[in-house]
A and B are shown apart, each in its own frame.
Chain A
Amino acid sequence: MATTLQPRSSTLEHAPLAPTRETSAPNLWARLRKIQPTFLALLGGIVIWEVAGQLAHFSFLPPFSAVINATWRMTLSGEIPSNLVVSLVALVIGYLCAIVVGVPLGVLMGRYSTLEYLIDPYINAMLATPSLLYVPILFGIFGISRVTQVAVIFLYSVIIITIMTMSGIRTVEASYVEMARAFGANDRQMFRQVLLPAAMPTIIAGLRLGMGRAVRGMINGEMIIVLVGLGALLRNYGGRFDSASVFGILIVIVAVAVTCNSLLKVIERRVTRWTE
């Protein structure tokens, strides 16, 4: 008797009410198929690069194989790894300082308009100017040192982080704030339970933009203050017009930028999971 009974859950299996682990994360094969055109386009580009480089013998466009060779050579000789580590250390320190300063400042500026008006003129000026100009100024203050490079990275990214955080706090739904007040929330509770969680997506978006800016600042700063790091390496090889090595280093830099961005995307997805 018991074997003829169909379990009722069979219908539920086909239409789950809540997203299960399997359905919410796209599986690997589906993801691979989606990036197929991207992959093909890149592959096509590499092929064209190789062919053009071999045929045309432009001094500025070495064939892709030459670029790979140069990259491999620099990796083996330790030039790329050591400079990469140096650059990344400065990047991490500068970026973390920018977060530590930018997020609290942005939260306070978003909440208290007095503070916003006080700091407002500097933010506008710094937004408008080409960030590259910070380098001669910081160079004048700190001289040729790693502190300058960390300071450049810090300045490049802190502004966008502050602005996005402030924007996130200010655009929290007024109804949430009113409701919290109606329930008698004090300032601290308001911050922790209403403002910060609601602003989190925008804050994280600001962190991603800040990371992109930080990488840019890392390279620009190192290229002008030629001391150590990937930017300095780039400047040296550029000065010798060794374009194969320059492209090789560029590939490493782009890989760094893309990796950092992907890392932040993963963090973003985990933190804002409740909004899905």
Chain B
Amino acid sequence: MRAPLDNPLWRKWSLRLASILFLGVVWEIMARSLHSLLFPAPTATLFALTQLVVTPDFWSAMWTSNQSLILGFTIAAASGIAIGLVIGRWRTAEQVIDPYLSILLATPMTALIPVIILVAGLGLFSRVFIVFLFSLVVIIVNTRTGLRTLDPSLIEMAHAFGATEWQLWRTVLFPGALPGVITGLRLGLGRALTGMVAVELTLIAVGIGRLILDYQATFEAPSVYATVLVVVIEAVLLLRLLRAFESRITPWVAHARYSYRTL
């Protein structure tokens, strides 16, 4: 009979748990000894978290923030996939748009926020537009890559069987590009979350960003950390959801160990 420590799954999870507990203890000790106003202990943070979820103010802030996230991301997904497919299929379109894509990829979108506010004001539209901008480019680029890495012999075979353009798209191009599209959506979701938070932390103080700023201003560090923790939990949950969705739609794709940028 094998000792429990030999079982790889047991080992993996016990190491992870031990690591988290260890960090928690170290953090707690450090925070207690430092007595800094701005470095709360994990216990204080968790307590602040429980306080946070019962205040209605928090939930209305979450709703405000997530409105822009949902709207911005869906619009970016729809248009990004469409543009990416067009670019991937037709070379001339790609040659024209590619330099702008490279520039947009390199531009920190946070820098464009003041300009967008100047144009569109301080309302929901600006926030949606900013989330849209943050996530659009990675979706386009990954969709294009997904289409590009399709085996060209598949397309040749489809042509040999006399497929029309629409049939080509339906049977070869769409399914083949799907893994790339999902990767793009995953990366785009991360960027959309960044956009949601960025605009609220810098210029339009509503929602979660306003909460963080308020707590920072009143030096309530546990609540600052608790709010950040909420956003982290939301991000992890959303990405896991996307992962599950991905497994169902493209079961033939092997999972990378960590979901990082594959550009």
User: Which A residues are within 8 Å of any B CB, using their own CB?
Assistant: 37-38, 41-42, 45, 58-60, 114, 117-125, 127-133, 135-137, 139-141, 143, 160, 163-164, 167, 170, 209, 212, 215-216, 219-220, 223-224, 231, 234-235, 237-239, 241, 243, 246-247, 249-250, 253-254, 257-258, 261
Contact = CB atoms under 8 A, between A and B. Distances in A.
Given A164-B260, A223-B202, A238-B115, A130 B236 contact: no
A128 B239 contact: yes
Given A130-B197, A246-B111, A38 B95 contact: yes
B260 A160 contact: yes
Given A60-B115, A127-B259, A163-B258, A140 B224 contact: yes
A42 B98 CA distance: 10
Nearest to B215: A136
B17 to A, nearest CB: 8
A234 B111 contact: yes
A114 B16 CA distance: 9
B158 to A, nearest CB: 28
B261 A160 contact: yes
A3 B115 CA distance: 76
B18 interface: yes
A220 B191 CA distance: 13
B107 interface: yes
B16 A120 contact: yes
Interface residue SS majority, chain B? helix
Interface in B208-230: 212, 216, 221, 224-225, 228
B38 A117 contact: no
B255 to A, nearest CB: 13
Interface string B110-124: 111111001100000
B78 to A, nearest CB: 22
Contact of B18 (A118, A135, A253): A118
Given A60-B119, A136-B228, A220-B108, A45 B114 contact: no
Contacts of A120: 16, 19
A118 B15 CA distance: 5
Contact of A243 (B38, B118, B221): B118
B115 A132 contact: no
A140 B39 contact: yes
B111 A130 contact: no
B61 to A, nearest CB: 15
A226 to B, nearest CB: 10
A117 B15 contact: yes
Given A41-B100, A128-B190, A231 B111 contact: yes
Given A137-B225, A246-B114, 11 more contacts: A121-B20, A128-B232, A140-B39, A164-B260, A216-B108, A223-B202, A231-B111, A239-B114, A254-B103, A254-B107, A257-B106
A224 B99 CA distance: 29
Given A121-B16, A254-B106, A257-B106, A224 B202 contact: yes
Contacts of B2: none
Given A123-B258, A136-B201, A241 B114 contact: yes
Q: Which of B19, B108, B224 has the most CB of A within 10 A?
A: B108
A216 B235 CA distance: 20
B194 A60 contact: no
Nearest to A250: B111
Contacts of B16: 117-118, 120-121
B12 interface: yes
Contacts of A243: 115, 118
Contacts of B155: none
A41 B95 contact: yes
Interface in B43-68: none
Nearest to A241: B118
Contacts of B18: 118
Q: Which of B115, B193, B236 has the most CB of A within 10 A?
A: B115
Contact of A136 (B100, B193, B203, B212): B212
A70 B198 CA distance: 26
A140 B38 CA distance: 5
A124 B258 contact: yes
Nearest to A234: B111
A253 B107 contact: yes
Nearest to B97: A41
26 contacts: A41-B96, A41-B100, A45-B99, A59-B118, A118-B19, A120-B16, A120-B19, A121-B16, A122-B19, A122-B23, A123-B258, A128-B239, A129-B235, A137-B228, A209-B260, A209-B261, A209-B263, A220-B108, A223-B110, A223-B111, A234-B111, A238-B114, A238-B203, A241-B118, A246-B115, A253-B111
